[in-house]
Structure 1
Amino acid sequence: MPPTSRTFGDCARSSARILVAPCNDRARGAVRPPIEPASGARGRKSVHGLDTDERIAGKTPFFGHVTAFSANLGHAGKLWRRPHKKDNPESPVSLVRPSTHLTHPPTAAVDLSALTDLVHRTFGAELSATPMPGGASTRRYFRLDLPNGHRAVAMFVPEGGRPEEVQKVHDGTRWPFLEVRDLLADRGIDVPGILAEDTPRGWLVIEDLGDDTLANWLSKNPGDKPQLYSKAVRDLARAQQVLSELPKGSVVGSRTFDFDLLRWEIEHFREWGLDAREKPLAPGDVERWNAIADRLARRVADLPHCFVHRDYQSRNLMVASAGDELRLVWIDFQDALLGPRVYDLVALLNDSYQEFDRPFVEARLADYASAAGLDAASLERIVHEFDLVTVQRKLKDAGRFVFIDRQKNNPSFLKFVTPTIHKVNGALERLAPSDPDMAELRTILRRALGDELTST
């Protein structure tokens, strides 16, 4: 086999241990360059077709923003605006959302000629590729059989692939997946190794981590749940510390969960979790919904900030062995940004794909606080922040699952809508006694959702 630009040995992940300290309030040292408003932003409307609102940059494709995709990834400034008088008075905001046009829909055949060339150049081998199942995105995955019994995973982002979730996008020429991966590896966080890349043609070849996501592992080894979730929250606490200062110009530091983005996500639930399912707000509740949603987005935006993976959950952590111990390897981190310190805890411990009782959740929050060096008073604040962010994040998730069905013809996530709404209700019940906004929000949602909000 000819020499490769990246050998398997070169791709071994760092095992450096990282220190434990509390998450800082605003990720000191992070650079936040100004973000220009998108031009041609369109108003809010209920859309059930494709090819809408093409001028917004949303969640980057798996590999993110590259030069070849730059025409499709503009800047996102204000993500919503208050309506003018001429607007529908019941339309609280005008939203800018990503296009859902699929140049290469998930079921379309992929031209493997570029991958064939890449495998031959890098490994001196003929292409032997087996398609792998994907998730909600248009990314495509192939398991590669390489010489000497080695395997790898090839990942493809369709040329012209559109964003999937609204965010403010870094104007760089390097794929965020690669930039964030290198940052995480440099700080001692377990991430996949890169074996080969041909970004102009949309391909990366990465280390094969197997099929054991945390979700898959626990389906076979349920007794490992406390151990692995304790490790996951401790890993997160350590990562937040070592990422408290970011390199100048980092893509992570250029993106933040600010008021605009959080408010858009709440409205995303209204559009898809309520309106699209014919469970609209009662006419008399619209004005109060808007006011409460504004305040909720502001309160979440004002929480202490640090590095956020954005989707730190059981399908985005791979379980791998490390001698007699188990390791958790991070994947799907290309959308990392600055946001509430509890955001990833909510994604993990209120995961829509898992069920946890409250004592389990509170025990893991205590594990996190211990790893972060927080005292009892700080832990109490963490628990309150956790419930508040749960309301915002899980509303967004419930709406997103419907969006994926209606706009991407992928109904596999619909079974998680009601369980996700139950997680919202649980958080609202805990917050309501001391929080009038959350008490009223629960009443509004009960009128719209009926028994779905509270049924078990």
Structure 2
Amino acid sequence: MDSSTSDSKPPVQGLIHWADEARAQAFETWLHAQTPVHDLKPHTLRAASADASFRRYFRVDTSAGSLIVMDAPPDKEDCHPFVAVARQLEAGGVRVPHILQWDEAQGFMLLSDLGTHTLLSTLDTQAPMAPGNRGRYLAAIDELVRLQQVPGADQRPAYDDALLQREMDLLPQWYLTALRGLSLDEATTRMLDTTFGLIKAQVLGQARVLVHRDYHSRNLMAHPEQPEARPGVIDFQDAVHGPVTYDLVSLLRDAYVMWDEDVQIDYAVRYWERARQAGLPVPDDFGDFWRDFEWMGLQRHLKVLGIFARLALRDGKRQYLDDIPRVWSYAHRVASRYQGLGPLARLLERAEAPHGGTQTQVGFTF
């Protein structure tokens, strides 16, 4: 199809949906400019994935394989953090997409392709310790240790008190009030303020490293036949300088797949051993590390409850409601276990009581 013909429809408009014809034409022009340089086959363009933002990803074939195209409208998405973190991680030896071309003004990017299989899609959820699962998780742990050793972590924004607070504030605003319809009286609001203060104090006391911030089964690309192969790491643009336990929580207490706590502990021990060998700043005692892991997980899961509610109510992405019971269970278990968190556990029970979320939680302590 000849895009130079004035009355012909741009090929990309026939292959993928565009709400903005002007942007479709700009994309068409840019893509064809890359064709001879990277041996692209524009007629093979198809959707690769979408995320919770305004970014879209497409896959396009070449004679040697395939590449990924990112469409990130500059008025809605700032690509500078993605580019900066990608280059930092790549320089540190982490397996991330290589940036082949970036049109900064228009928000188009051409990237190497890390494959079509997420870690989640390759897991046997009925056999948590199956050899394939174990190989993939140990590979993901090794890659995480590599990521946490990347120099220049303090170049990224700090995961500070203000950011932790903004994230947890999503819980009362979107999950408790907007989604579950609770009316929070003054006493409940004071309790949340006190509880959030306890969580922040514990989390801010942890040693800091580079934090991916969403290191989970949908953001790791796995080899379908080789469980021990290094995973590809994507969706890292929100990286920060923060607590050493954060990314392990994302991996082992994943919002999209749930393992029994003995499995989580098994993998956490493997990580802790590797981290110590690598010289990462984890506690010398695993019990102390596990406590840090649990408190960090509580902060993350309170935030995620708010985010999933917001995605469903504000953005119309109702599929995230299906993941709330899993996230709620993580948060409730920790809140039920540690001194000072009982009122939060009861508030979570009140929110989920009509939805079957008041079962007794059993778990391990050290």
Q: CA deviation at 1:126?
A: 5.4
Contact 2:136 2:227 in 1 (8 A): no
User: Does residue 454 of structure 1 match 2:358?
Assistant: yes
Give matches, 1:354-369, under 5 Å: 354-369=257-272
Matched position secondary structure for 2:257: coil
1:130 to 31, 46, 49: 46
**Cα deviation 1:383-429 (Å, max 9, x = unaligned):** 00111111110011111011112222211211011221111011223
Contact 2:216 2:251 in 1 (8 A): yes
Q: Which moved more, 1:118-127 or 1:286-295?
A: 118-127
Change (3 A) 1:156 1:438: same
1:395 to 273, 282, 302: 302
Contact 2:101 2:111 in 1 (8 A): yes
Contact 2:100 2:112 in 1 (8 A): yes
Contact 1:119 1:127 in 2 (8 A): no
C-alpha distance in 2 between matches for 1:191 and 1:139: 17
2:291 to 384, 388, 393: 384
User: Does residue 175 of structure 1 match 2:80?
Assistant: yes
Paired residue for 1:290?
193
Query: Partner letter of residue 161 of structure 1?
Result: K
Contact 2:40 2:60 in 1 (8 A): no
1:233 to 141, 145, 148: 141
After superposition, the CA RMSD in angstroms is 2.6
2:98 to 170, 174, 193: 193
User: Does residue 256 of structure 1 match 2:163?
Assistant: no
Higher fraction of helix: 2
Paired residue for 1:153?
68
**Cα deviation 1:94-139 (Å, max 9, x = unaligned):** xxxxxxxxxxxx9735512243234235235552211233122211
C-alpha distance in 1 between matches for 2:236 and 2:40: 30
Change (3 A) 1:416 1:192: same
Contact 1:209 1:320 in 2 (8 A): no
Change (3 A) 1:262 1:120: same
Q: CA deviation at 1:441?
A: 1.8
Paired residue for 2:177?
275
User: Does residue 203 of structure 1 match 2:108?
Assistant: yes
**Cα deviation 1:197-243 (Å, max 9, x = unaligned):** 22221111111222101001115996322221122223222332x22
C-alpha distance in 1 between matches for 2:283 and 2:160: 28
Change (3 A) 1:399 1:125: closer
C-alpha distance in 2 between matches for 1:219 and 1:178: 34
1:319 to 222, 226, 231: 222
**Cα deviation 1:26-80 (Å, max 9, x = unaligned):** xxxxxxxxxxxxxxxxxxxxxxxxxxxxxxxxxxxxxxxxxxxxxxxxxxxxxxx
Q: Which runs of 4+ in 1 moved over 6 A?
A: 321-324
C-alpha distance in 1 between matches for 2:71 and 2:331: 35
1:300 to 193, 199, 203: 203
Matched position secondary structure for 2:68: strand
* Length, aligned pairs only: 330
Give TM-score, length-normalised by structure 1. 0.67
Matched position secondary structure for 2:285: helix
1:117 to 17, 32, 40: 32
Contact 1:321 1:327 in 2 (8 A): no
Q: CA deviation at 1:322?
A: 9.7
Contact 1:194 1:207 in 2 (8 A): yes
Contact 1:308 1:337 in 2 (8 A): yes
Query: Partner letter of residue 232 of structure 2?
Result: V
Q: Percent identity?
A: 27
C-alpha distance in 2 between matches for 1:444 and 1:408: 26
Q: CA deviation at 1:162?
A: 5.2
Paired residue for 1:427?
334
Residue ranges of structure 2 left out of the alignment (5+ in a row): 1-16, 361-366
User: Does residue 108 of structure 1 match 2:16?
Assistant: no
Q: CA deviation at 1:194?
A: 2.4
Change (3 A) 1:125 1:366: closer
Change (3 A) 1:280 1:230: farther
C-alpha distance in 1 between matches for 2:145 and 2:75: 36
Q: Which moved more, 1:408-417 or 1:188-197?
A: 188-197
Contact 2:40 2:61 in 1 (8 A): no
Query: Partner letter of residue 256 of structure 1?
Result: A
Residue ranges of structure 1 left out of the alignment (5+ in a row): 1-105, 164-173
Matched position secondary structure for 1:201: coil
Higher RCO structure, 1 or 2 (CA under 8 Å, sep 6+): 1
